[in-house]
Amino acid sequence: MHSTLTEHARCLYGDEYRPTPECNLDHQERHFVEELTFADPDSILAMLHELCPHVVDGLLPVWVRNLAYRLILLQRPDDPAIMREAADNLYLHGPDWDDIAADLRRAADAHVCR
């Protein structure tokens, strides 16, 4: 078993900045998705920030990034910084999600203006 979500993601998808560690575990994507689904927001953010530190980089699939931000926002729905970070990610991998990204930006701005 991996000790962190980041370690699990690194073993499964690789890491642009570090070598993939030797691991004898059976890596099935569904196990990672289950772990991601029930992870706390700090663990998910740590994974995103470590494996994709500049938003445009990293080897995590786009669908994993989108799911990760969605799960964080469900747990922290009033966090404008996370809304903006999620919007940036969606804009980078759009244009399919540009409307959602714009909505997130507006929601973040509305939270700051309160």
Q: Tell me the mean pLDDT in the region 62-84.
A: 96
Listed in sequence order, the DSSP H helices in 14-97 are: 29-37, 41-51, 62-75, 80-92
Residue entry with tokens 């997130």: 104
- pLDDT at 82 exceeding the cut of 60: yes
- Digit-coded pLDDT (tens) for 8-19: 999 999 999 888
Q: For residue 74, how many other CB atoms are within 10 A of its CB?
A: 9
pLDDT at 26: 78
Number of domain units in the chain? 1
Q: Which structural domain, as residue segments, surrounds residue 76? A: 5-112
Gap between the Cα atoms of 12 and 29, Å rounded: 7
- Digit-coded pLDDT (tens) for 17-71: 888 878 887 788 999 999 999 999 999 999 999 999 988 888 999 999 999 999 9
Element (H, E) at 106: helix 98-112
